[in-house]
Structures are given as C-alpha cells and as structure tokens.
Copies of this chain bind each other. A is one copy, B any other.
Amino acid sequence: MINKLVEKIRKTNAPIVVGLDPMLKYVPEHIQKKAYGEFGETLEGAGEAIWQYNKEIVDHIYDLVPAVKPQIAMYEQFGIPGLMAFKKTIDYCKEKDLVVIGDIKRGDIGSTSEAYAVGHLGKVQVGSKSYYGFDEDFATVNPYLGSDNVKPFMKVCKEENKGLFILVKTSNPSSGEIQDRLVRTGTKAGSLASEGGISFGERPLYELVGEQVAQWGAEHMGREYSYIGAVVGATYPEMGKILRSIMPKAYILVPGYGAQGGKGADLVHFFNEDGLGAIVNSSRGIIAAYQQEKYASFGAGDFGGASRAAVLDMKADIQAALNAR
C-alpha cells in the first residue's frame, strides 16, 4: 500500500491528504436540513448529514489527491450511526481509488492491540468465514504502551499489504509534556533505543521513538519507502528536520498545516531530496473552505467547489516551498 501511496503522490504531484473530520458546524445547512428531514434531529440524522457532506467533498477532490484521512473520533461522537458513516466514507473513498488512512490512534497491550489491528486493517474470523471490519489502508497508532502495541499491527500490515503511521511528535501545543522529555540514553532502561548507534547522554523522547520507527521500518520495506511511517506535526519544523534524518525511509504524515498554524515553508524539512517522504494533512482548511473569506464566493451551495479550490491552493503552496529550497 505504501507503493500505491507513493505512486499516487507522484501521479497527482500532490503530497496531500485531506482530513475528513466532519463537525456539524462545518456541514452546510441545506445538507443538515435534508438529513434531519429524513431522520429527525437524531444520531442517525447526524450520521446521514456527515456522510452526505463527505461524499460531496470526495466527489470534488478525489482526482487531485492521493489519500484521505478520516478521523474516527468525529464519527464516534455520534455513537453507532456515526461509525456507520465512518464505514460508508471509507468504502466510498476506496471506490474512488483513494488511499484511506484511518486516524484512530489506538494503543493497547498485545492481545487487545491485535483486535484493533484486525478490526481496522485486517480480517476477523467468525466460524469458518472471515470479514473486514473497517478496512482502512493505513492506521495511526500510539506508542505509549511500547512495542506490544505496535507488533500486532505490523503483523497484520505484512499479511494485508497495509501500513502504519506511528505517533512520534504530535502537532498539538501540549505534545511536549511527554514527547519532548529529555531521557537518558544508552542505559538498560528500555529497548526503544538501538544499542549500537546511541551514545550515552540525554535526548528528547520523540527522537528515540523516531529511531524505533526507523528500525521497525527497515524490517518492513516497500519499494522505496517503508510501510511503517511516522506522524510529526507541521507545527514543529525544527524537530521535523531532525526526525527526517533519523527516519530516512519512513513516510511522514504531517498534521497541523493550515488551521493549526503550520505554513508551506515549514514543510520543506519533512521532505527528502527526492521530493517524497512526506504527506501533509489538512482537514478544516479544506473541508470547511467555504466558511473562509477567501473562498466565500463559492457559497454554502458549492462547498465542494471551495474544497477543490483549497486543495489546488495548498498544492501550489507546497510546490512553491519545495521549489524554493
């Protein structure tokens, strides 16, 4: 799947993933009205509204970008009907040949992690038959529980030709509280650090997690890049530069562009010399573009057109930054 992602990035010339993180306040009134007319102001109505909203956005952007990233929390908040909209969205995006990155950030102990891996990337056995539960192409995972969490995901990825993005340095303001902690290296304290390459000293935790990702990545290579990637926020470009060099073969999923404050010029550090190696997420900036002054002329009636224009602008912004380096 990492090979498909790289090919599609080359073909579209857009290292962009559109975050399908629908909040009801983004969904135009005419769509909400229609959905509530059919299902009432219920969880089912909300599910229908976000599904119709997603569908129209996808119809307007699927030829421009390689991938989408639905954030499961935005669906899970509406309970079962919300998760049905999540599943419908995944299936529809795959019909449109988009690579689907499930932003699920799951993390648990071995056997439990296996259940998440099976449910989101693999097949679960029921009697003599087996079924895909949600069937994303990639998933994001949380490393706080250590390799016990990640290994079952890697196993399923190998079997199913899928991939992961492991949280290394997240885009949010408080990400440093744990991730930036200076930790002692080269001790017996854990196996995260590869024994060979590290001198005794102090380094931020995210670098050690990055090294572990690089090591796992080397064991799970696609053609040019590994199918074990990393999440590093656009809001921390200097750290991105260091992590880029620590994980040369990892695809970096970069959230935080646009609404969270990351700019095109900040992004260059996340890319390799080949112009590959990073895929930048924008959610609100694209899916709710029609609510920005810049795209207001599209109106709520053509919110899909506004999203398309925002993708084209983002593509130009990133290309200009890459050309200028």
Q: How far is the CB of A188 from chain B (nearest CB, A)?
A: 10
| A80 contact from B87, B127, B180, Cβ within 8 A | B87
**How far, in angstroms, from A109 to B179 measured CA to CA in the complex?**
13
Say which one of A59-67, A115-123, A237-245 lies at the interface with B. Answer: A115-123
The answer, yes or no, to whether A178 is at the interface (CB within 8 Å) is: yes
In the assembled complex, the Cα of A306 lies from the Cα of B133 at a distance in Å of 31
Given known A-B contacts A107-B105, A112-B74, A126-B42, A146 and B118 have beta carbons under 8 A apart? no
Please name all residues of chain B whose beta carbon is closer than 8 Å to the beta carbon of A261 when the two chains form the complex.
none
Residues 107-160 of A contacting B (Cβ, < 8 Å): 107-113, 115-116, 118-120, 124-129, 131-134, 142-149
Residue of B nearest to A112 (CB): B73
Give the docked Cα–Cα distance between A126 and B192 (Å).
Answer: 44
- Asked if B145 and A172 sit within 8 Å, CB to CB, the answer is yes
Residue pair B180, A189 in contact (C-beta under 8 Å): yes
Interface residues of A in 53-92 (CB under 8 A from B): 71, 73-74, 76-80, 82-84, 87
A182 engages B172 (CB within 8 Å): no
What residue in chain B is nearest A172 (Cβ atoms)? Answer: B109
Q: Which residue of B lies closest to A76 (CB)?
A: B119
Closest to A255 in B: B109
Determine if A133 and B77 form an interchain contact, defined as CB atoms under 8 angstroms apart. Answer: yes
Question: A226 near B: Cβ within 8 Å?
Answer: no
Minimal Cβ-Cβ distance residue in B for A174: B146
Once bound together, how far apart are the Cα atoms of A24 and B125, in whole Å? Answer: 9
Of B119, B129, B172, B177, which contacts A77 at CB under 8 A? B119
Quick check: B73 and A36 within 8 Å, CB to CB? no
Given A148-B174, A172-B110, A178-B143, also A131-B43 (CB < 8 A):
yes
In the complex formed, the residue of B with least CB distance to A184 is: B182
Closest residue to A129 on the B side, CB-wise? B41
A194 within 8 A of B: no
A297 within 8 A of B: no
Q: Residues 37-61 of chain A: 1 if any B CB is under 8 Å from the residue's CB, otherwise 0?
A: 0000111011000000000000000
A32 CB, min distance to chain B CBs, angstroms? 7
Interface flag for A314 (CB, 8 Å) = no
Interface contact A119-B82, CB-CB below 8 Å? yes
| 7 further A-B pairs in the complex, CB-CB below 8 A; given A73-B119, A77-B118 | A73-B116, A76-B116, A78-B131, A145-B174, A148-B174, A180-B189, A183-B205
Interface on A for B, CB 8 Å cutoff?
A: 21, 23-24, 32, 36, 41-43, 45-46, 71, 73-74, 76-80, 82-84, 87, 105-113, 115-116, 118-120, 124-129, 131-134, 142-149, 167, 170-184, 187, 189-192, 202, 204-205, 208-209, 212
